[in-house]
Amino acid sequence: MTSSTPARISIFGLGYVGCVSATNLAAAGNTVIGVELVPEKVDAINSGSVPLFEPGLAELAALQVEEKRLSATADTTAGILATDISFVCVGTPSLPSEKIDLSAIEAVCRDIGKAIAQKETRHVVIIRSTVLPGTCDRCVEVIAEASGKSCPEDFAVVSNPEFLREGTALKDYEHPPFTVVGASRPEDAQIVGDLYAHIDAPLFLTDLRTAETIKYACNLFHATKVCFANEIGRICKSLEVDSHAVMEIFCADDKLNLSPYYLKPGYAFGGSCLPKDLRAIMALSREHHVALPMLERILESNRQQVELAIKTVLATGKQKIGMLGFSFKPDTDDLRESPHVALAEALIGRGKKVMIFDPHIQTSRLMGSNRKFIDEKISHVSELMVGSLDEVIESSECIVIGNKDAHYEGILDRVREDQIVIDLVRIDKERTSADGYHGLSW
């Protein structure tokens, strides 16, 4: 488990993350100095133990101390002068206001900056703590101010969030789901990537803010999954259904359930199933006096995504709006509860001239509940439909891309400079909002 070129590393903060990182980086052959404010924690490491319980950690740390690859100090300057790379692993707790407390991060960066002022060689500072997007940029400012030195010439700040779980931290360190390294320059990201060369996990090198944000996306998803399973459990129990049997089979679906499907920021959901099924379970939960606050808010969140699309179109100030896609997803003519219908309805209500192209919809052929839905919402729908994509490109001032139907491929290369595009689905994943192109949530 040794890394290819041993590095000289200081670790700031010997809590859970710091101790696990320090021990494992030493075990990989690097020389590691822990820097910690609490003297008892420094003494614990230097006497060959760790200041916390984590299965297997004390034994591994003792071996590293014995072999002189791991030591600790309270002296920041000594830690920095003896190393080339620093990991910042201090706490980032909540303030009473619920905002993140970054005071320990700022204090460490200031200390590191003062010490770097005395160095002749370049130093790389890795933020391992969980920090909000933009924090690493702030760390650059603090270090530059305290050191009088410049980034990237004299030092770099890199983001490398930690994904371990207490209780299984050693196993998680050796087998993480992935390693994420964010930096302003790829060569700095690679310096950190190389420290994990011996770890068999996908390595993602990205920019600072993406790396910082990924950690939050992961933790918010974990929290959401726990509450989802518990809310399914609560409704199951009230119905005398075995929730574990339900969730075991649920988890066997790796096509739609445990998969990237439905996990791309885009437009609202709709169609003949999801909205009505949510309503049915909510009504049932009320009858059974079962609180499902997370599921209860889903339709509202979905409604707000439609509202955002409406506001984005209205903000363009354009009159003639061309919509590409009208059904709730490509390759169907099902209009029931399509969020595109809601968008068209709102725009018409605001006096906009709307034209719609959807290759799969022929209004004369709509029948049954599908016909009834659209007649109730937009009775003159056939007057809004046009027969070709060319007509939309020709006549609209603002084009709304509603799905990824193959007919719309290359559309972004065909729009004129005077036209505004609002993309609800990110038809081209390389495009970000700029110059007449607006992604709904990117």
Ligand X SMILES: NC(=O)c1ccc[n+]([C@@H]2O[C@H](COP(=O)([O-])OP(=O)(O)OC[C@H]3O[C@@H](n4cnc5c(N)ncnc54)[C@H](O)[C@@H]3O)[C@@H](O)[C@H]2O)c1
User: Is position 270 annotated in a ligand binding site?
Assistant: yes
User: Is position 377 annotated in a ligand binding site?
Assistant: no
**Per CB under 6 A, which region of 86-94, 200-208, 226-234, 397-405 contacts ligand X?**
86-94
Does residue 186 have a cis bond before it (omega within 30 degrees)?
A: no
Residue-by-residue DSSP string for 134-174: THHHHHHHHHHHHH---TTTTEEEEE------TTSHHHHHH
Least separation, in Å, of the C-beta of 283 and ligand X?
Answer: 39
Candidate list 62, 78, 81, 107; residue touching ligand X; CB under 6 A: 107
> Using CB under 6 A as the criterion, what x/- string covers residues 139-168 for binding ligand X?
-----------------------x-xxx--
Is residue 51 helix, strand or coil? coil
Give the residue with the Cβ less far from ligand X, 10 or 31: 10
Give the residue with the Cβ less far from ligand X, 12 or 155: 12
Size, binding site for ligand X by CB under 6 A: 25
User: Is position 206 annotated in a ligand binding site?
Assistant: no
Residues 8-67 within binding reach of ligand X (CB under 6 A) = 12-18, 35-38, 41
Query: Which residue minimizes CB distance to ligand X?
Result: 15
The question of whether 151 is a catalytic residue gets the answer no
Instruction: Single out the residue of 288, 286, 373, 294 nearest to residue 336, CA to CA.
Output: 373
User: Is position 318 annotated in a ligand binding site?
Assistant: no
Instruction: Single out the residue of 65, 33, 7 nearest to residue 195, CA to CA.
Output: 7
CB–CB of 42/73 below 8 Å? yes
> Using CB under 6 A as the criterion, what x/- string covers residues 111-130 for binding ligand X?
------------------xx
User: Is position 404 annotated in a ligand binding site?
Assistant: no
User: Is position 262 annotated in a ligand binding site?
Assistant: yes
CB–CB of 127/88 below 8 Å? yes
Counting contacts by CB under 6 A, is residue 133 touching ligand X? no
Least separation, in Å, of the C-beta of 78 and ligand X?
Answer: 13
Task: Give CA 139 to chain center in angstroms.
Answer: 21
CB–CB of 309/423 below 8 Å? no
* Residue in 139, 251, 273, 398 annotated catalytic: 273
Least separation, in Å, of the C-beta of 289 and ligand X?
Answer: 36
User: Is position 263 annotated in a ligand binding site?
Assistant: yes
Residues with Cβ within 8 Å of residue 4, at least 6 apart in sequence: 194, 197, 198
Give the residue with the Cβ less far from ligand X, 146 or 384: 146
Give the residue with the Cβ less far from ligand X, 159 or 370: 159
CA distances from 325 to 254, 286, 328, 386, 437 (A): 28, 36, 8, 11, 18
User: Is position 267 annotated in a ligand binding site?
Assistant: no
Least separation, in Å, of the C-beta of 221 and ligand X?
Answer: 14
CB–CB of 333/381 below 8 Å? no
Give the residue with the Cβ less far from ligand X, 117 or 236: 117
Counting contacts by CB under 6 A, is residue 104 touching ligand X? yes
- 3-state class percentages of the chain: helix first, strand second, coil last, to nearest 5: 45, 15, 40
CB–CB of 349/310 below 8 Å? no
Counting contacts by CB under 6 A, is residue 91 touching ligand X? yes
Residues 238-267 within binding reach of ligand X (CB under 6 A) = none
Give the residue with the Cβ less far from ligand X, 27 or 109: 109
Enter the DSSP assignment of 133: T
Q: What span, in angstroms and rounded, lies between the C-alpha atoms of 223 and 221?
A: 5
| Burial class, 159, CB count within 10 angstroms (exposed 0-12 / middle 13-18 / buried 19+) | buried
Catalytic residue positions?
273
The residues of the shown chain that bind ligand X, judged by CB under 6 A, are: 12-18, 35-38, 41, 89-92, 104, 107-108, 129-130, 162, 164-166
Annotated binding-site positions for substrate? 163-166, 215, 262-266, 270, 329
